Chains A and B, each alone.
Chain A
Amino acid sequence: MRIGLIAMSGVRVRNPELAALGVSLPQFVSRGRVIASLPSLGLLTVAGLTPREHEVLYLEFAELPPADQELERFDLVGISSFTAQIDEAYALADRYRAIGVPVALGGLHVSLLPEEAARHADAIVVNGAEGAWPRLLQDFQAGRMQPRYEGLRARVFEEPNYVLPRFELLRGRPYNRLTVQTSRGCPLDCEFCAASLRITSSFQQKPVDKVVAEIRAAREVTSQPFFELADDNTFISKKWGKELLRALRPLGIRWFTETDISVADDEELLELLAESGCAQVLIGLESPDAGSLASLDPHNWKQRRCDDYLRAIERIQSRGVSVNGCFILGLDNHGPDIFEKVRDFVARAGLIEVQVTVQTPFPGTPLHARLKREGRLLPEPYWDRCTLFDVTYEPLHMSRAELEAGMRWLFSELYNEREFLQRKRRYMELVKQRI
C-alpha cells in the first residue's frame, strides 16, 4: 500500500497589520524562518507506526495546492492538524476524498474537536497515534476501517506502543534543525494551554536511552547538529532531567527546549544544561507582575514564582544558556498598562530573546469553555485566527482594538534593530564570561 502523510507547514498570522509589521522586524523574521522549517514529528511517528511492508511518503504543503493542480495519488492519506491551519487541512482532505482517496485525520486539533473533523475524513484518530494507527491500517486493508480510533493517552513511550520516528524520510531535505520529543504533557495545567497535555492523561517521560537513540537516528539524516525538544515542559523531574543531560553531553549537539522557571532552582541542573549544549530555554513567564497571574493555573504556581523571575533569569543566563522569555498579552487582569510593563521587564531582566503572544482560546481548552460561557468569544469557528498573534475574544480590562494596538506597539519596541543588537551583545558578553 502507498500511504501519503501530509503536514501543512510554516507559520501563520492573519491580522494584516501585524503580518506587515512582522516582515519588517528583524528578530521576528529570523525566528520565524528558523522554526517554519521544522518537520512534523507527529507524522514521522505515524510513519514509524506503519508496518514496513507499506510505502510511506512524507509531504509538506506550505499552502493548499492550486485547485487545478492534480494531487499525487495514494491508497490512503493521513493529514496532521493544528488549529490555525485546520481549514486548509480540511480543504485538502475534501479534495482527496473527492478524487476517491480515503483520508485519515489526526493530531491536536482533531483530538480537541473530533466531531467537526469527522465531517472531513473517512477516519479520525484522537490522542496519540500510538495504539490506534496500526489498528486503523489493519482494518483499512481488511476493508473495514472505522470512522473513529482512540489513540493512547498514557504509556505512549513504553513497549509495544513506542516507535522510533522515521527521521530517514527527511533525508536530503534542507531543515536547519530537527525535533525530538522527550516528554508529553505538563502537570502545571494552565487554563489556556493547547499543547500535548490535551492528549495525555498525565505527564509522560521518555526513557533517556530512547531519546538518545532518536537523536542518533536523526543525526544520520542531517548535517545540522541542532535539535528542538518538542516538549511542553521538559524539566518537570529534575532527577530525570539530569540523567537526560548527562546522556546528551557526549553527543556534541546544540539544542533548545521549553520548560519552566524552576530549572533555576537547581545548580547542578544548570551546570549540566550548559555542558550538554543547551543554547536556549524557552520559558512561559506569561506576565511580569504576580497580580495578573492569579488563576492562570489551578495551583497559582506561576503567580507564586513571579517575584523570583529576575533572579532566576540571571542564574540561567549566567551559565551561557539564553532564556527566551514568553509573555501572554490580554490576560483577564491585564489593563492597558501591561504593554509598558512587559517592555520594562524585558529590559530589566536582560532577556536575550523574547516572545510575545496574545492569549488564545483554542477550542478544547478550559479557557475556551470559560470565555464561551461568558459570551466573550468571536463568532465560531475562528480557528484560522488561532495563531497566538490574532485577538479572538473580548479582553476584560481593555478593548480588542487596544489590545491589538498595544501588541503592535510592544512588537516595535522589542523587535527593532537597536533592541536586537543589544540582545546580541548581551548574549556575546555572557558567552565570554563562560569561555
Chain B
Amino acid sequence: MKGEEVERLVRALLGELSRSDVSALGRDEDLVEHLGLDSLQGLSFLAAVEKRFQVRFPDELLAALRSVGALVEGIQSARKEPVA
C-alpha cells in the first residue's frame, strides 16, 4: 500500500474513532492535543490502528506516534517487520 493510501485510511479511522472531521488536520499536528485524547484513548486508538493495519508497533515507539505522519511511517516500517 502506498503512503498516500495509508494516510487516507489512517485519517478515515481517526475520524471514525474521534467522531470529528480530521481532513484539515496537518500531517505533523499533535493528535493528542488536537483531539484532546486522554492517555487511554490514545492507546485505544493505537490499538485500533494496529488491528486495522495488521501491524504491531514496537512498544518503545508508542509514545512517539502522535501525528498522522508518524503513524503512516510507523505503519509502513512495521509492515516491513514480521507481525509478532
Contact = CB atoms under 8 A, between A and B. Distances in A.
Q: Do A and B bind each other?
A: yes
Interface size class of B (residues with CB under 8 A): 10 to 19
Interface residues of A, number: 22
A420 B38 CA distance: 16
- Looking at chain B's contact residues, the main secondary structure is helix
Given A431-B43, A432-B51, A435-B51, A425 B59 contact: yes
A279 B38 CA distance: 10
A427 B41 CA distance: 11
B76 to A, nearest CB: 19
B44 interface: yes
A435 B48 contact: yes
Given A224-B36, A254-B41, A431 B48 contact: yes
Contacts of B41: 226, 254, 279
A177 interface: yes
B17 to A, nearest CB: 10
Contacts of A424: 43, 59, 62
A280 B50 contact: no
A254 B51 CA distance: 21
B38 A432 contact: no
Contacts of B5: none
A177 B36 CA distance: 10
B36 A322 contact: no
Given A428-B46, A431-B43, A435-B47, 7 more contacts: A177-B38, A254-B38, A280-B40, A424-B62, A429-B47, A431-B47, A435-B48
A202 interface: no
Interface in B17-65: 19, 36, 38-41, 43-44, 46-48, 50-51, 59-60, 62
B39 to A, nearest CB: 6
Residue of B47, B51, B59, B60 ringed by the most chain A CB atoms within 10 A: B47
Interface in A400-435: 421-422, 424-425, 427-429, 431-432, 435
